[in-house]
Amino acid sequence: MDEARLRRKIAVIMAADVCGYSRLVAEDEDGTLHRLMEYRDIFADFVGRGGGRIFNTAGDAVLAEFDSAVEAVRAAMDIQEALKARNSLLPDKRRMIFRIGVSLGDVVERNGDLLGEGVNIAARLQGLAVPGGICVSRAVQEQVVNKVSILFRDIGAQTVKNIPQPVHAFVIADAQSLADPPPAAKAQPSPSATKNLRISPALLIPAAALSLVLLVGAALFALKMPAPISQRPAALATSTSKPTGNEANASTGGSASLAGTSLRATEIPFVTRDTQQMIERQYMPQTGPKAFAIAGAAIGMSRNAADEGAAKAEALAQCESRAVAGRKCELFAVGDTIVWDHPAPRMASEGPLAPRFIKMASVGEDSVPFIRDEAHKKILADYMRLSSPKAMVAGPHGALDYASGGGSMDDIIRRALQICADRAHLPCLLVAVGDDAVTRVPQSMMAQGLMEMDGQDPLPASARQELMSAAAENSWYALARG
């Protein structure tokens, strides 16, 4: 080994691998390999957003390095939630479920790869996690516990293979709930148990004495404001009130892939209305070989190419020349048929995550949720420097996104919600419009995440409907569950 190329350092290591990978390959090798590549893209997205890098992908494993334990744990939680959303679209036997372990320790770097005890411990912690769960070392738990509202369960010192000393480990309770539920039926509250309760505005808040199934807070206040019922801008109201066709997927949370459906310029996500209209004028009327590629708001298109292959190559090349660094260009349509194999970004039209447009306060660290570390503060500061029109949204575990620039405010809000939902694979919450904060932020408890009344929550239908009504009629409401 070339000693000149060795460098020791302290690093946070994330290790992940697939549960039952050999069985998946034996039953459907091509489909499993394709899905593994797709899911690794999800890892790459969240690892990159947390300032980390993937340094090894041998077999079905993913190994990533972070400078921050906080960012590593956040990335792990976001990854598990995103994978759960993707797996929900698949039959049980085709679901690809990862375990994740996170350690902090000494590693040796050689030509970009990392070796050493820190990597080995992360791999052993991953083996201790439940399917769909996250297990961390005590060093990681100590770094994270006082900085982020995450619930840990101490599983004590664990003897693991090839590590001489026992490893003290913790599992992330919230991450365990991301795994497939056990066959045993969960206890359901009676409708009367939720009578006269309110949900805190789409935010999940940790409280030590509560059940981990649906964690919102114990003995919460029920402060109600005499504010009017929220109103949506006309364009959003039009697009979400009576969805049809492709539009239904975007507005009502449909999870079917758009691939194979007819291209309609007005329903292309992420891009501005001006771009949609340009595609309507310049792309749609063409009858020769043509293709259209997308990477966020960046696009590339080819019209009247020599053949279909040339059209695809030209569209991708044009898109890549315009895309923001790190954004991957994908073919969206070939001819007049969508080939983009993703569901439409989900935008809530009702319930706690439905957009609200009542000014609660001026935008600031106390009026926007999840401003809990320097990275989030920087995003907020960047947003505050922008001129209107602009809008900011929050993802399920607090990731912040914003959109600004030309176009109407309706258009900017739509784009921000779609960009966030595509990354999170779940609907996001509108938190700011221009310089106005438009959601209430609990001050006595720290927001943990977003709550979506999507039928997957452990509530009976009657209670869910009552809570949906509360979300529509009140600007401040809370739900206690124990």
**Confidence label for 90 from pLDDT (cuts 50, 70 and 90):** confident
Write the DSSP assignment of 325-375 as a string of letters. Answer: TTPPPEEEEETTEE---SBPPP--SSSTTS------EESSTTTSTT--SHH
> Residue 29 is inside which H or E element, if any?
helix 29-49
Write out pLDDT tens, residues 218-265.
222 222 233 332 344 433 433 333 333 443 444 434 467 899 999 999
- The torsion region of residue 112 among left (phi > 0), alpha (psi -120 to 50) and beta comes to left
Contacts of range 187-190, beta carbons closer than 8 Å, 24 or more positions apart: 188/458, 188/459, 188/460, 189/459, 189/460, 189/463, 189/481, 190/460
- Bridge-based pairing of strands 152-158 and 113-115 is unpaired
Residue of 232 and 343 predicted with greater confidence: 343
Does 191 score more than 90 pLDDT? no
- Bridge-based pairing of strands 98-110 and 134-137 is parallel
Tell me: do 118 and 83 sit in the same domain: yes
What is the spatial distance between Cα 100 and Cα 61, in angstroms, rounded to a whole number? 10
Residue type, 298: A
Task: Work out the number of other CB atoms within 10 angstroms of the CB of residue 456.
Answer: 11
140 touches 154 (CB < 8 A): no
Structural domain total, the chain: 3
Q: Which residues contact 38 (CB under 8 A, 6 or more apart)?
A: 86
What is the spatial distance between Cα 415 and Cα 396, in angstroms, rounded to a whole number? 17
Task: Work out the number of other CB atoms within 10 angstroms of the CB of residue 233.
Answer: 16
Q: Which of 108-117, 228-237, 269-278, 361-370 is predicted with the least confidence, judged by mean pLDDT? A: 228-237
Tell me: do 138 and 279 sit in the same domain: no
**Confidence label for 344 from pLDDT (cuts 50, 70 and 90):** confident
**The pLDDT of residue 30:** 86
**The pLDDT of residue 63:** 93
- pLDDT > 70 fraction of the chain, expressed in percent and rounded: 71
Tell me: do 159 and 36 sit in the same domain: yes
**Confidence label for 195 from pLDDT (cuts 50, 70 and 90):** very low
User: Residue 311 belongs to what domain range?
Assistant: 257-338
**Confidence label for 101 from pLDDT (cuts 50, 70 and 90):** very high
What is the spatial distance between Cα 316 and Cα 311, in angstroms, rounded to a whole number? 9
Query: Is 248 inside a domain boundary?
Result: no
What is the spatial distance between Cα 215 and Cα 371, in angstroms, rounded to a whole number? 20
Q: Which of 277, 307, 338 is the last residue of a domain?
A: 338
Tell me: do 80 and 28 sit in the same domain: yes
391 touches 412 (CB < 8 A): yes
Does 324 score more than 90 pLDDT? no
Tell me: do 26 and 69 sit in the same domain: yes
Q: CATH number, domain at 73?
A: 3.30.70.1230
Query: Is 443 inside a domain boundary?
Result: yes
Tell me: do 16 and 149 sit in the same domain: yes
**The pLDDT of residue 371:** 81
Tell me: do 218 and 270 sit in the same domain: no
Query: Is 169 inside a domain boundary?
Result: yes
Q: Which of 298, 314, 338 is the last residue of a domain?
A: 338
Residue type, 144: V
Write out pLDDT tens, residues 448-467.
677 665 555 556 666 666 76
Q: Which of 53-62, 86-95, 156-165, 191-200 is predicted with the least confidence, judged by mean pLDDT? A: 191-200
> What's the length of the chain?
482
Tell me: do 29 and 94 sit in the same domain: yes
Tell me: do 139 and 266 sit in the same domain: no
275 burial level (CB within 10 Å; 0-12, 13-18, 19+): middle
Contacts of range 376-383, beta carbons closer than 8 Å, 24 or more positions apart: 376/400, 383/432
